[in-house]
A and B are shown apart, each in its own frame.
Chain A
Amino acid sequence: MKTEEKILRQAQNRNKRLDAFQRLLLFLIICLITALGTIIWIIPDDTPGLADAVVSMQEHSGVESSVTAVLLNFRGYDTLLEVMVLLLAVIGAWSLAKAPFPRQVTNTSPVQMGVVRLLVPLMFLVAAYLVWQGSHLAGGAFQGGAILGAAGVLLLVTDLPCLRAIPAQLLRIGLVLGPLLFVGVALFCLFFTGNLLGYPEETAGWLILLIEIACAISIGLTLSSLFAGGHPEYERPQSNNPTESSGNGEKP
Chain B
Amino acid sequence: MNYFILTLFDIILVLTMLWLAWYLLNTEDIFKAVVLFISFGLLMALAWVRMRAPDVALAEAALGAGLTGPLFLSALRRMNRTRKGERRLDSDENRGKDPKTGPKQE
Q: Which residues of A contact B (CB under 8 A)?
A: 1, 4-5, 8, 11, 65, 67, 100, 130, 137-140, 142-143, 146-147, 149-150, 153, 157, 223, 226-227, 229
Contacts and interface: CB of A to CB of B under 8 A. Distances in A.
A146 B67 contact: yes
Given A1-B104, A4-B104, A229-B78, A138 B58 contact: yes
A139 B94 CA distance: 42
A65 B55 CA distance: 10
Contacts of A5: 104
Contacts of B59: 142-143, 146
B51 interface: no
B59 to A, nearest CB: 5
Chain B CB within 10 Å, residue with most, of A1, A130, A227: A227
A81 B75 CA distance: 27
A227 B58 contact: no
B17 to A, nearest CB: 16
Contacts of B75: 229
Contact of B62 (A11, A100, A147): A147
B89 interface: yes
Contacts, number: 51
A150 B67 contact: yes
A142 B58 CA distance: 9
A139 B58 contact: yes
B75 to A, nearest CB: 8
B55 A67 contact: yes
A227 B62 contact: no
B63 interface: yes
Given A137-B54, A149-B63, A153-B70, 13 more contacts: A1-B104, A4-B104, A139-B55, A143-B59, A143-B62, A146-B63, A146-B66, A146-B67, A150-B65, A150-B66, A157-B70, A226-B71, A227-B74
A143 B74 contact: no
Interface residues of B, number: 17
Chain A CB within 10 Å, residue with most, of B59, B65, B71, B78: B59
Interface string B95-106: 000000000100
A139 B70 CA distance: 23
Interface string B20-51: 00000000000000000000000000000000
A138 B58 CA distance: 8
Nearest to B71: A227
Contacts of A100: 78
